Amino acid sequence: MKTPIKILIVAALAVTVVAAVALKQGKNESKDVSTVAALASPAADAGSRASLPRLVDLGAGKCIPCKKMAPILEELKKEYAGRMEVEFIDVWKNPDAGKAYGVEMIPTQIFYDASGKELDRHTGFFGKEDILAKWKELGVDVKSEGRNPNPEGSQRSEGGKTEKN
């Protein structure tokens, strides 16, 4: 009597495994469709926007380096409006976006030229001056258009006093 019970248990277990695999494949197929749509969005977004270089920062609202970058990104967005686009995507709230951009760690900054071509990626905290230096290294002049990124046109001297250019 023990053998038929064992066979019944093994059969029930096999049916459960097959059902679980079938359900998972069904979910993956629906995810694949949304992932394909999301994969098209980074390039599609670039094409539908004005011809400006674009910085996309993928992070999360509760990630500490991401939090430190938030004011830098807002500052860049305001100071360089009309010269570059700055976009933040929270990958914890929108995991498909992280997959679409191929992000493995956060924060990740992706630099795009005006045509939407990816130029470079950086992972980790990236300060404002580092971001601007990266644009310059990539041959993208975001400081042009006759507007001084420093509204007062000033810089600090060694003594901490402000000097006009």
pLDDT digits (tens, 9 = 90+) for 101-154: 999 999 999 999 999 999 999 999 999 999 999 999 999 988 765 444 344 433
pLDDT above 90: percentage of residues in the chain: 53
Please say if 66 is a catalytic residue.
yes
- C-alpha to C-alpha distance for 143 and 135, rounded to whole angstroms: 10
Packed helices 64-79 and 128-137: angle between N→C axes, nearest 10 degrees: 60
Q: What is the mean pLDDT of residues 3-7?
A: 76
Confidence of residue 156 (pLDDT cuts 50, 70, 90): very low
Higher model confidence: residue 25 or residue 55?
Answer: 55
Catalytically annotated residue among 39, 43, 52, 63? 63
pLDDT averaged over every residue in the chain: 76
Domains of the chain in start order, with CATH, are: 1-151 (3.40.30.10)
Q: Which residues of 109-126 are buried (b: 16+ CB within 10 A; e: fewer)?
A: bbbbbeebebbeebeebb
Q: Please state, in angstroms and rounded to a whole number, the distance separating the CA atoms of residues 125 and 109.
A: 9
Any catalytic annotation for residue 113?
Answer: no
The residue from 55, 58, 60, 66 that is catalytic is: 66
User: What is the average pLDDT across 12-34?
Assistant: 55
